[in-house]
Structure 1
Amino acid sequence: MCLLESFASGIHEELESIGFVKWSRAYSQRRRYNVMTTNISEGLNSVMLKARELAICSMLEVMPMMLQRWFFERRNEVDYQVTDFTKTIEGILKEQIERSRSMKVNPANNMKYQVIDRTS
């Protein structure tokens, strides 16, 4: 945080007001690869509960199969994506595009534009 504060004063308070859950992986409450933890050993333990009852060789065969399945599922999801954005970002962009339809843009020069919102 001190490093961020050195680049932009007031950023610490801003990020705190937003909430660490929104921007920090360490505080993220989202599940990643069916695992609700950031500690890799805890994560593997949580998904390997049933496999631990198997013989060691069988358990070691389960791990690559599980990872292969995860990567296959995610690759398939990405293959059917039309854009490079996540579903959440797609939704945000669609909302912004709809809002922008009522705006008028006048160029001031090559780098600056005047944007007029006709709805307000």
Structure 2
Amino acid sequence: MEEGFTCRDGELSVLLGRQTLNVPPGETVTVARGVIHRFFNATARPVRFRIEVSPGNRDFGDSLIILQGLANDGLTNRKSIPKQPAPMGLVAELGDIWSPFPLSLLNPVVRPFAARARKQGMLQELRRHYCPS
């Protein structure tokens, strides 16, 4: 999927490969399908932004909502990565969010946790708890 990041308030940072783009309010950065990237707030000020995913994908949206809910509940580390491998794997699978090297070494370890958690109904539980409607 292609992603567009539009900053509304503050300054959004988007890392594309080794290049960091600082996106001021009103500006948009579009990331082509398959390009490894991440977005973050490099400042002490809050940032508000909009992500547009094309084609639309409910699972991706739910993965971000679940991740935010886990963070609000203190279930992530300071970098917003879930502390437990099962929810980490489920969020990664759901949103097709996989870490680049060296964190990619964890992907094969986390996937079995996600598969077992899915069979146990954890994904439905996370969606029921964090995703409205």
TM-score by length of 2: 0.21
**Greater relative contact order, per chain length (Cα 8 Å cut-off, separation 6+):** 2
Q: Which has the higher helix share?
A: 1
